[in-house]
Amino acid sequence: MSKECVGVIGSGSFGTAVANILSKNSNVLLYARNPETVEKISASRISNGQQLSENITITNSLEEVAKSCNVIFPVVPSSNFREMMRQFAPFLHPYHVLIHGTKGLDLILPDEIPSDFKMDRSCIRTMSEVIREESVVVRVGCMAGPNLAKELALGHPAATVIASPFNEVINEGKRLLRSDKFQVYGNQDLKGVELCGVLKNIIAIASGIISGLGFGDNAKGLLISRGLVEMIYLGKALGGEISSFIGLAGIGDLVATASSQTSRNYTIGFKLAQGKTMNEAIAEMEETAEGVNTIRIIKQLADAQGIKPLITDMLYKILYEDMKPLEGLSYLMKYPGNIDIDFL
């Protein structure tokens, strides 16, 4: 190959969309876990309903990805991320750059849970922390922002944030992703930007519920602003910078996800509002909605630490304790209003 080759791990809808964007500037090696999927995609050149560009090659070999590419974008659900990294790690070298696009958390609990066990931040890993733990790669970044896979596939204008403590990672991300239709911003607060992507999924589910219940834009405005405040509190407690939350990956992504019917998390919420149970709603989805898992992790953490994130708390009750969405909402509305903004 004459042009350089960039790797993408994961052929889900977002992975495919990222591969297509990257293919504008480079050759792309797209990894799919399942050999049958690989065959199907190479025959049809269609992955997750998206037409693949010509210079995308599909593979089932992580070793080949590591050998051919210096910059790799892992985009797999958080529940499979660590396992994928364990398989990938033997092929990775310190010169590799990994920029992930997964908006979820990894939970680590001790093998034997002692009776006085209290969950804290040390039990939670962001994806960049998983990469650092499982491999020798140190130059790690993430990609986050309002990047709904379906719109990206249509080639609509959009932008993303590449976050990494390393400027060279940000620059590589910019160089590889940037095109006429795709803007790329940089941010050094890797943890904060990862947390933006993770936490906004919670609010997206709530937004789906509000729409599903038939409420309008006032309610949505209320949710987005209070939701952002909750994200900031949680994000700060988990080690992010406030400033990242008012950027593209925070408020930008939140607005997009909270008003889009193409968002998975929004869709889950919408289905819940229509009276489906969590399991029914999940069964109807094609791909993972990260928010469901995130709510469970954050709720556990908040309980252990004695903090009370109202929206997350309520969603947990709706998802896991069969509370009726309308009931949850009216509880929130009755809750005494507090100071609007007290963190700036």
324 binds another protein (CB under 8 A): no
Stretch that binds another protein, among 31-39, 130-138, 177-185, 321-329 (CB under 8 A): 130-138
Return the residue matching tokens 């050759």. 27
Nearest distance in Å: CB 192, another protein: 16
Q: Give the binding-site size for another protein (rule: CB under 8 A).
A: 16
- Output 194 or 290, the one with its CB closest to another protein: 194
The answer to whether the beta carbons of residues 305 and 299 sit under 8 Å apart is no
121 binds another protein (CB under 8 A): no
* Known catalytic membership, residue 200: yes
Indicate the pairing of strand 5-9 with strand 50-51. Answer: unpaired
- φ/ψ region of 324 (left if φ > 0, alpha if ψ in -120 to 50, else beta) reads beta
Using CA atoms, how far apart are residues 61 and 68, in angstroms rounded to an integer? 11
Using CA atoms, how far apart are residues 6 and 30, in angstroms rounded to an integer? 9
Stretch that binds another protein, among 31-39, 160-168, 200-208, 285-293 (CB under 8 A): 160-168
Would you call 167 exposed, middle or buried from its count of C-beta atoms within 10 A (0-12, 13-18, 19+)?
A: exposed
- Output 35 or 94, the one with its CB closest to another protein: 94
Helix 78-88, helix 127-134: angle, nearest 10: 20
Among 42, 53, 165, 332, indicate the residue that binds another protein (CB under 8 A): 165
Say how many residues make up the chain: 344
Which residues lie across from 143 on neighbouring strands? 162
Nearest distance in Å: CB 57, another protein: 20
Among 35, 36, 94, 218, indicate the residue that binds another protein (CB under 8 A): 94
Q: Binding to another protein (CB under 8 A): which residues in 65-84?
A: 70
- Annotated binding-site ranges: 10-15, 33, 103, 145, 149, 200, 253, 263-265, 290
Which residue of the set 200, 220, 271, 299 is catalytic? 200
95 binds another protein (CB under 8 A): yes
Among 27, 78, 102, 135, indicate the residue that binds another protein (CB under 8 A): 135
Return the residue matching tokens 């489906």. 276
- Output 135 or 288, the one with its CB closest to another protein: 135
Using CA atoms, how far apart are residues 148 and 304, in angstroms rounded to an integer? 33
- φ/ψ region of 227 (left if φ > 0, alpha if ψ in -120 to 50, else beta) reads alpha
The answer to whether the beta carbons of residues 43 and 35 sit under 8 Å apart is no
Question: Using CB under 8 A as the criterion, which residues of the chain lie in contact with another protein when the complex forms?
Answer: 70, 89-90, 93-95, 97, 133, 135-136, 138-139, 165-168
Catalytic amino acids? 200
